[in-house]
Structure 1
């Protein structure tokens, strides 16, 4: 009798665990599941730095969340952790989930090099707003940061993913890789659950999906994609200078391609929500220029004018690209 009761209890316990797993966040084949249902990332990269500043601020969060909700955005990707419970709560209450990014060396503040990223995971691992933990952003373009050997980064990346899995088995671990990961990356990092890829292939990322299908059966998403609203030259019918139409047309084609590949892709976090005046010159003014690695595929001039990527401007006025996102995401 004792053994029978113990057996029933074990079954009930296993069913409870299975139920909790189904209601959490998991990976199944090429899909990300939230509460047992396929989650399609309709996302935006979000690093709100006010005019005149070089530091991120959430002073405009209420306005930003209202705009994001209007645009149909369900996910934001941040490049550094949000260490403010009120901000996380507000994002969750807006019905939006977060991909929390950790940098390698952030002077010991929730970074990978110091190991303090684990303190953040421990503190916030139960917060309902968090969709995934993301380790690094395009670090494969910077072997110079890792003693000239990118293999050193991949070892650190996989070890960090393992550490997170031991502490929090309720969420996937991802990374934002610059372009399609090669064999070295995939072999070295089996603990990465979802591969994010920053892909700039003009206005057509179609080829990356078939390439990914050929090398992996894991989920992938475009962690960055899009175009900016400044043309350094006149090209393809788009005039030189500020050009919202070029950005809107490029983003429309990119997003439509992503949405046509839902069998392989888990979604996209378009770059980006707001213009960043801090990137290329005086943060009090909006300046053309800037630099980004492997960016010759930026539509339609092959130049990433770093301060012109927002779907809204620094004052939150909607650009033409906002209406494109709103139409496709909704």
Structure 2
């Protein structure tokens, strides 16, 4: 969130939540081109370092800044709280410095002053990175979000055109593979994707260079996923630092491929059984989006985050409102229900950002009979697609779940198992995890070493609708 508000002069340590009797307060203004007051590095007389991180212009607290205690190597890392305060306890007396980092701000490195009563206190003023404007500029790259419209200029002639995402979630694991995809499968995938007339695939954890090249050759774009484990403690500053660094390298390594459409962060972190139904997750998304902009600059690709349904979208308490996510360009959502109309109506009231549906549809197995009901799957998927088109004022398209069946998800990867979870959103009241594909898999029958692929009725239906 770009902090704003009236200026507040800091005249005592009380904004840090520190009792007024503590001495040794030091305010350090870290302005570019301004060195600030000279501070002698001294030994702490106590065992606690407390302080507050402030935004230089507004003097408001900077939340979730990563505060490192250095001596000279890092000995402790904490996050600042919502109001910018922090506390580091159990520190042996010696000489220390504080290094403070937060995406969108210039990193600071300051001395810790000597304190009294076992406490040293510091107020740190961070300057915004001048290359990260408060309002994210319109991208000058080959793809961009302009208001609620996804636009492309892939031929780079300067004329942007609206683009609708029509594609599939892509994880074509062969039978017995346990989820792994061999490189030799990608030519086959590209041919079938061509036949389906998709213009986009959505991945979950990066993309193999071979498939990225095939996608580029076939004019298929990629919503490339940056996987974040749903078990991660997102309040852990070390974990956040690792994720930001990994994402920086991730974007740097892929940004120049003509096949990249956008960056998609995480997958359903907000669902109750995962670990991101909190402000720490959405704030991390903002930091990652800023990080991508730092890497790509004026020609940046859009950034989205795959939310479970539309839950939390627009909620400032979760840091999921537009102001808190000023550098995330659009929402992504995995949403499963037959009638999406009411969901889109609610979405319009929550945010000014568009959305791409990164998963929708149903599986092909009737759990009541343990037989496939392909016609029901095709009708359900087609209805969802028509609703996506009808919501084009807010929805830029979608990637159906999914391209092929995945036999590894509910048991033995060598057998097509029944298994998943109960849901009121499916006609049979159940989601069978291994039966979602537009393409049905069966074991190799002709000795060519490959699984047999059979297009389901939904595949044929989308061939017509996406032509």
Coarse TM-score class (shorter-chain normalised): 0.7 to 0.9
Give the 3-state SS of the residue equivalent to 2:275 in structure 1.
Answer: helix
TM-score (norm 2): 0.60
TM-score (norm 1): 0.84
User: Alpha-carbon deviation of 1:99?
Assistant: 0.5
1:317 to 454, 459, 462: 454
Give, in whole Å, the separation in 2 of the partners of 1:261 and 1:310. Answer: 25
Q: Deviations over 1:125-152 (max 9, x none)?
A: 1111000000011000146535xx6222
User: 1:56 Cα deviation (Å)?
Assistant: 2.6
Q: Is the 8 A contact 2:247 2:288 kept in 1?
A: no
Aligned to 1:77: 202
Map 1:70-219; keep pairs closer than 5 Å.
70-84=195-209, 86-105=210-229, 113=243, 115-142=245-272, 145=275, 150-169=278-297, 170-182=300-312, 183=315, 184=318, 185-186=320-321, 188-201=324-337, 203-219=338-354
Q: Which has the higher contact order (CA 8 A, sep 6+)?
A: 1
Q: Is the 8 A contact 1:255 1:328 kept in 2?
A: no
Residues 101-146 of structure 1 deviation map (CA, whole Å, 9 limit, x = unaligned): 0111399xxx963731221211111111000000011000146535
1:300 aligns with 2:420: no
Give yes or no for contact 1:177–1:196 (8 Å, CA) kept in 2. Answer: yes
What does the per-residue CA deviation read over 1:49-89, in whole Å, with 9 as the maximum and x for residues that have no partner?
Answer: 110011331432112111111111100000010142x3211
**The residue matched to 1:316 in structure 2 has which SS?**
strand
Give the conservation status (yes or no) of the 8 Å contact 2:179–2:406.
no
| Aligned residues of 1:143 and 1:150 also touching (Cα < 8 A) | no
**Mapped partners of 2:141, 2:286: distance in 1:** 26
Larger radius of gyration: 2
The structure 1 segments of at least 4 consecutive aligned residues displaced by more than 6 Å after TM superposition are none
Q: Structure 1, unaligned stretches of length 5 or more?
A: 1-19, 234-238
Q: Could you tell me how far apart the structure 1 residues matched to 2:350 and 2:274 are?
A: 27
Deviation string 1:265-304 (CA, Å, 9 cap, x unpaired) is 100100000000010010001111124xxx7244212311
CA-based RMSD of the aligned residues comes to 2.3
Q: Secondary structure at the match of 2:195?
A: helix
- Flag the 1:89–1:248 CA change in 2: closer, same or farther, 3 A: same
User: Which residue of structure 1 lines up, in the alignment, with residue 114 of structure 2?
Assistant: none
* Equivalent position of 1:253 in the other structure: 383
Aligned counterpart, 1:68? 193
Q: Give me the whole-angstrom Cα distance separating, in 1, the residues matched to 2:199 and 2:424.
A: 27
Of 123-132 and 55-64, the range deviating more from structure 2: 55-64
1:177 shift after superposition: 0.4
Number of aligned pairs? 297
Q: Is the Cα–Cα contact under 8 Å of residues 78 and 99 in structure 1 kept in the other structure?
A: yes
2:177 aligned with 1:53: yes
Tell me the secondary structure at the aligned position of residue 150 of structure 2. strand
Decide which structure has greater strand share.
2
**Whole-Å Cα distance in 1 between the matches of residues 149 and 332 of structure 2?**
13
Change in 2 beyond 3 A, CA 1:296/1:100? same
Q: Distance in 2 between matches of 1:105 and 1:299?
A: 27
Contact 1:142 1:150 in 2 (8 A): no
SS in 1 for 2:179: coil
Which residue in the other structure is 2:163 paired with? 39
For residues 287 and 193 of structure 2, what CA distance do their matches in structure 1 show? 34
- SS of residue matched to 2:399: strand
Residues 105 and 112 of structure 1 are in contact (CA less than 8 Å); yes or no, is this contact kept in structure 2?
A: no
Q: Gapped runs of 5+ residues in structure 2? A: 1-137, 154-159, 233-240, 442-451
2 CA distance for matches of 1:277 and 1:101?
22
Contact kept, 8 Å, 2:362 with 2:377, in 1: the verdict is yes
Greater mean deviation of Cα atoms: 57-66 or 314-323: 57-66
